[in-house]
Amino acid sequence: MTASPPDTPIAPAAAPAVAPAARAYFEGGAADEVTLRANVAAWRAIGLRPRVLATPRAVDTQVTLVGRRWPTPWLAAPMAHLALAHPQAELGLAMACAAQGAGMVLSTQATTALEAVARAVLATPQRGPLWFQLYPYGTRADWLRLIERAQAAGYEAIVLTVDAPLQWPSDRERTAGFGLPRDWPQPNLPAPPTRGTLSDLLAAAPDWDDIEWLRAHCPLPLLLKGITHPADAQRAAELCDGIVVSNHGGRVLDGLPATAALLPAVRAAVQGRCPVLVDGGLRRGLDALKALALGADAVLVGRPLIAALADDGARTVAALWRHWLDELRGAMALCGAPSLDALTPQLLCRVPTDGD
């Protein structure tokens, strides 16, 4: 097991267990992967400018999200098909997250039934939030059936992903010949994703009327994931209980700016009406600190968790979270921040990069 943080590339020790085509799926992004790289680089390009001689006597990483207090400000981002990374798949990820006080957003396209993940997590003391991510496939009635299933299982919010009405294999996946095995388990799909012509896909894409309808019918708090434009953020904040600033980890539309660059304008548009979460390119505890200082209430983490899971299942995921929490706590102390509220943009500065 490696206790050091596995970076995005799946740790070499795990490489033999993860097929090259699956690595292309997990690690890759859309087109030229400009957005994927920009996400990572943007957090690194933010500098810190703390005051000295102001060390707090204790640091507290608790956060309030949709009405409850949680031990840490991070959650595992929803990620599909985790059984391709490790046999423990979503169960291993969920148990490691819960044990370390991190939340989890389970994907619609998970390989494990949502009920089994909930059973593995909900009794853990000091766990993080358990949310369900919904892709709006099928009809409104299909969505509602799945939401009711998630609510009955104990999920505490619905995260509707709005940035991927169309998905197609990336260049990297095509080159590697990635495809899901026959009869691949997807026990949480509301309906099979629409196949067929482009016009079928376009006709099935959701719009703001669907969001209003869902808001009226969804019995759980509703967050929208994939917001990048301030005008969309404003509209979402009027309707929903939270938004996730996300470009899908650079996996859908290449050319979107880094989420670190998008977050401040979105935050300003929301005007405190709902929590703003962010994901994309966060690769260590320090990146999370910068995201929180820039205005995020909490952060989601994607690929680093897959790399950890592929390495040695839940054990390595738990080690990664511990490492991130130690780093966050230490950096908060060095920045004179006793709590997450004390992390503000005044702490940040821009550092020149090679391109400057």
Half-sphere exposure of 66 (CA within 13 A, CB side): 20
- The reply on whether position 302 binds ligand FNR by CB under 6 A is yes
List the alpha helices (DSSP H) in the chain: 20-27, 34-44, 89-99, 114-121, 140-153, 171-176, 198-204, 208-217, 230-239, 259-270, 285-293, 303-312, 314-334
- 4 by DSSP, 3-state: which? coil
Phi then psi dihedrals of residue 334, to 5 deg:
-65, -25
- The reply on whether position 249 binds ligand FNR by CB under 6 A is yes
Tokens of 353: 């990069």
User: Is residue 68 marked as binding?
Assistant: no
By CB under 6 A, the residues from 145 to 164 that bind ligand FNR are 161
Among 112, 133, 170, 316, binds ligand FNR (CB under 6 A): 133
Q: Which is nearer to ligand FNR, 251 or 284 (CB)?
A: 251
User: Is residue 248 marked as binding?
Assistant: yes
The rounded distance, in Å, linking the Cα atoms of 162 and 237 is 14
Is residue 128 within 8 A of residue 317, CB to CB? The reply is no
Residue closest to ligand FNR when measured from CB atoms: 302
- The reply on whether position 79 binds ligand FNR by CB under 6 A is yes
Min separation Cβ 223 and ligand FNR, Å? 11
- The reply on whether position 225 binds ligand FNR by CB under 6 A is yes
User: Is residue 290 marked as binding?
Assistant: no
Helix axes of 285-293 and 259-270: crossing angle, nearest 10 degrees: 30
Question: Vertex 245, ends 336 and 10: CA angle to 5°?
Answer: 85
- The reply on whether position 39 binds ligand FNR by CB under 6 A is yes
Is residue 169 within 8 A of residue 22, CB to CB? The reply is no
- The reply on whether position 279 binds ligand FNR by CB under 6 A is yes
The rounded distance, in Å, linking the Cα atoms of 134 and 293 is 29
The rounded distance, in Å, linking the Cα atoms of 163 and 187 is 22
Q: Catalytic pick from 81, 229, 248, 323?
A: 248
Among this protein's residues, is 248 annotated catalytic?
yes
- The reply on whether position 78 binds ligand FNR by CB under 6 A is yes
Tokens of 164: 């991927």
Min separation Cβ 26 and ligand FNR, Å? 5
Tokens of 349: 């500065």
Min separation Cβ 336 and ligand FNR, Å? 28
- 353 by DSSP, 3-state: which? coil
**b/e per residue, 65-83, with b = 16+ CB within 10 A?**
bbeeebbbbbbbbbbbbbb
Tokens of 254: 């290449």
Among 282, 307, 325, 347, binds ligand FNR (CB under 6 A): 282
Q: Which is nearer to ligand FNR, 26 or 143 (CB)?
A: 26
- The reply on whether position 248 binds ligand FNR by CB under 6 A is yes
User: Is residue 80 marked as binding?
Assistant: yes
Min separation Cβ 235 and ligand FNR, Å? 19
Q: Which is nearer to ligand FNR, 61 or 246 (CB)?
A: 246
User: Is residue 78 marked as binding?
Assistant: yes
Size of the site for ligand FNR (CB under 6 A): 23
Is residue 121 within 8 A of residue 147, CB to CB? The reply is no
Is residue 330 within 8 A of residue 105, CB to CB? The reply is no
By CB under 6 A, the residues from 165 to 204 that bind ligand FNR are none
Choices 73-81, 192-200, 286-294, 336-344 (CB under 6 A): range interacting with ligand FNR: 73-81
Among 97, 147, 224, 301, binds ligand FNR (CB under 6 A): 301
Q: Which is nearer to ligand FNR, 275 or 281 (CB)?
A: 281
Is residue 129 within 8 A of residue 157, CB to CB? The reply is yes
Binding residue ranges for glyoxylate: 25, 135, 248, 251
Catalytic residues: 248
Residues of this chain that interact with ligand FNR (CB under 6 A) are 25-26, 39, 77-80, 107, 109, 133, 161, 225, 246, 248-249, 251, 279-282, 301-303
Binding residue ranges: 25, 78-80, 107, 133, 135, 161, 225, 246, 248, 251, 279-283, 302-303
